[in-house]
Amino acid sequence: MSRLAADGTNRGLRVGPELREAVAALYADYAAALDEARYDDWVALFTDDCRYLLQPRENHDRGLPLATLSFEGRGMLRDRVYGITRTLFHAPYYQRHVIGPLRIVSRGPEGLGVHAHYAVFRTRVHEPSEVLNVGRYLDTVVVDPQDGLARFALKRAVFDSEMIPNSLIYPI
Amino acid sequence: MGFAVPTAPAMNAPIETTAAAPPADAADCSRVPYTRYTDPALYGRELERIFYGRHWSYVALECELPEPGDYKTTWVGERAVIVVRDADGSINVVENHCAHRGVRFCRQPYGHAKDFVCPYHQWNYDLKGNLIGLPFRRGVKRIEDGAVRIDGGMPADFRLQDHGLTRLAVARRNGLVFASFDPSVEPLEDYIGPEVLPWVDRVFDGRALTLLGFSRQRIPGNWKLMQENIKDPYHPGLLHTWFVTFGLWRADQRSQMVLDAHGRHAVMVSRRNEGGGGAVTRGVTSFREDMTLHDPRLLDVVPEPWWGGPSVTMITLFPSLIIQQQVNSLSTRHIVPRGPGAFDFVWTHFGFADDAPEMTERRLRQANLFGPAGFVSADDGEVIEMSQQGLGQHPGAFTVSRLGGTGVGPTDHMVTETLIRGMHAYWQRVMGE
């Protein structure tokens, strides 16, 4: 989907600074909302009929549909938030996202295709920090012409990590 | 009151339930020393007697290996094995270490092969694990000073057939594949036993399966804690909000606990109810009277004809397999021990080849309840880790499993720890502890 440049390499699309800024702000807001446990703010970063997928690379590469988390629409995201805050029993931990440079790979009627690498660290009470999950985002982002804000129509986190260290409670 | 034992579609008469005889030493199994979960030497003996002994270990679903030459790598105990479909459609399981220098040579999680070659010295094996060739077996011929000489080579008495890969016994049943290092292991059907086998066959009745995908997690707990978790009908309606609130599993349901004659395998059978408040939710902190789903599709349960009543059957096959039917979500869960204090937990979700697309979607949506991030199952991994931490800090202490008494036997309710006691009674006989 990305552009073949004159030097024969695959390059991301060049878009205007305003659009790039809107997309970059979305990813910064996404990491901040999750890592600061502002989950209602997290839900607001998605379109009403969004898709959220957290999928092992193994399944993604083999074309197998199973995802670790698979949500359709903001309602299911809210159900996950309720699970995180009210029902799931787990050892408490902090989560910290580090998201690499954004690469805009396509532009079409469905939105912008945006790829980015990520690492998420977990810090449990009384424990040193550790790597929780490493992978890449393969997302579709739309910008609302009304408010100029970018939102996720599709958030797909495909993780390299071959083993989840016990459990994964908060979204990636 | 219990459920009728499931019958194969072709059979008309229900099978009589055979009550499992309580083992003579069952009384001791309501107390288990903490060290049974933590002692490295004991764990080493468990590998030998249980995982490499006369037991069947799960290795694959056949739908992972549809074509001849398809293989996957997996584990029996801590030993790496290759599961491969042979040219005639049969399935071979061989140990993944070269007979020459011990190299664990097959590194891909799955693939397709005509034969296996160890990269170190290119010893070459067929799909049955037979050694079919190796470089310089007859030495290297060269001419020096006009004379032909042969350098090196294997001795004249070197026979290829003495140097194959370790081959395991294999048993297949309706899409499930098991392997054993001990060729004297009893037939799989006898191993599972007449009490539990109909419940296995209820899920795996010979229909073609569809592979939906895998989840993998490493849980820092002893492998037996996972078996016990799925032999423990006491906790689901207490730990798991979703189960008690939505009536997927709780103590006021019609249910049945089934064991094989040895107490090593079990089935927890139940039928969901409407949930809501009642005698079993009073004082239960995980119950949420006011909880409703923003999107009810997460629990869009559609009963399937093959259920025959129960909406949930959780089967534990000793030592390493759990078979899950929880409403429309189906999986095998493979326990791979990693030392006394950890195991890998590999989930293989599946459906049936004749599922409508809507049913496949439903199974995938309901998978949100299970696996390492599941609304329900994430709790189990967490609580097992906390168990291991507590068990490790007090070697002289004992666990208590006295719900429903101290004996071992089937029940028609879930207010019991009989299945846990049954497994420990068997464990004690095998281990001589």
pLDDT at A2: 61
Mean pLDDT in chain B?
A: 92
- Pick the residue of B382, B383, B386, B393 with the most A CBs within 10 A to test the interface with A by mutation: B382
Report yes or no: B215 and B354 within 8 Å, Cβ to Cβ: no
pLDDT at B13: 32
> What one-character-per-residue DSSP string does chain A give?
-PEEPTTS-EEPPP--HHHHHHHHHHHHHHHHHHHTT-HHHHHTTEEEEEEEEEEEHHHHHHT----SEEEEHHHHHHHHHHIIIII-----EEEEEEE---EEEEEETTEEEEEEEEEEEEEETTS--EEEEEEEEEEEEEE-TTT--EEEEEEEEEE--SSEES---S--
Q: What are phi and psi of B372, to 5 degrees?
A: -65, -20
Beta strands in B231-317 (DSSP E): 255-259, 266-270, 312-317
Contact state of B297 with A72 under an 8 Å Cβ cutoff = yes
ipTM: 0.95
Q: What are phi and psi of A160, to 5 degrees?
A: -70, -35
Identity of the residue in A66, A73, A90 whose CB atom sits nearest the CB atom of B378? A90
Q: Which residues of A are less than 8 Å from B217 in CB distance?
A: 163-167
A107: pLDDT strictly greater than 60 = yes
Q: Which residues between 13 and 72 in chain A have a beta carbon less than 8 angstroms from any beta carbon of chain B?
A: 54, 56, 58-59, 62, 64-72
Contact state of A66 with B215 under an 8 Å Cβ cutoff = yes
Q: What's the predicted TM-score (pTM) here? A: 0.94
pLDDT confidence band for B251 (50 / 70 / 90): confident
Contact state of A89 with B379 under an 8 Å Cβ cutoff = yes
- Strand-pair category, A103-108 with A69-72: unpaired
C-alpha span between A2 and A13 (Å, rounded): 7
> What one-character-per-residue DSSP string does B366-379 give?
HGGGSSTT-TTHHH
In sign, the C-alpha dihedral spanning B92, B96, B102, B105 is positive
Contact state of A164 with B216 under an 8 Å Cβ cutoff = yes
Contact state of B368 with A64 under an 8 Å Cβ cutoff = no
- DSSP class of B48: I
Closest approach of chain B CAs to the CA of A141, in angstroms?
23
C-alpha R_g of chain A = 16
C-alpha span between B57 and B182 (Å, rounded): 11
Neighbours of B40 (CB within 10 A): 9
Tens digit of each residue's pLDDT (9 = 90 or more) over B282-327: 888 888 888 888 999 999 999 999 999 999 999 999 999 999 999 9
Identity of the residue in B212, B220, B382 whose CB atom sits nearest the CB atom of A64? B212
pLDDT at B219: 98
Closest approach of chain B CAs to the CA of A128, in angstroms?
16
Instruction: Please give the average per-residue pLDDT across B86-110, as a whole number.
Output: 97
pLDDT at B8: 52
- Pick the residue of B210, B287, B290, B294 with the most A CBs within 10 A to test the interface with A by mutation: B294
Beta strands in B201-248 (DSSP E): 209-219
pLDDT confidence band for B31 (50 / 70 / 90): very high
**Where is average pLDDT lowest: A110-119, A150-159, B15-24, B193-202?**
B15-24
B345: pLDDT strictly greater than 50 = yes
Q: Which residues between 111 and 170 in chain A have a beta carbon less than 8 angstroms from any beta carbon of chain B?
A: 162-169
pLDDT at B241: 83
Contact state of A75 with B295 under an 8 Å Cβ cutoff = yes
pLDDT at B286: 82
Long-range CB contacts for residues B146-152, cutoff 8 Å, separation at least 24: none
Contact state of B372 with A82 under an 8 Å Cβ cutoff = no
> Is residue A84 within 8 angstroms of chain B, CB to CB?
no
Q: Which residues, including other chains, have CB under 8 Å from residue B335's CB and lie 6 or more apart?
A: B223, B226, B227, B319, B320, B321, B322, B343, B344, B345
pLDDT at B236: 83
C-alpha span between B381 and B417 (Å, rounded): 19
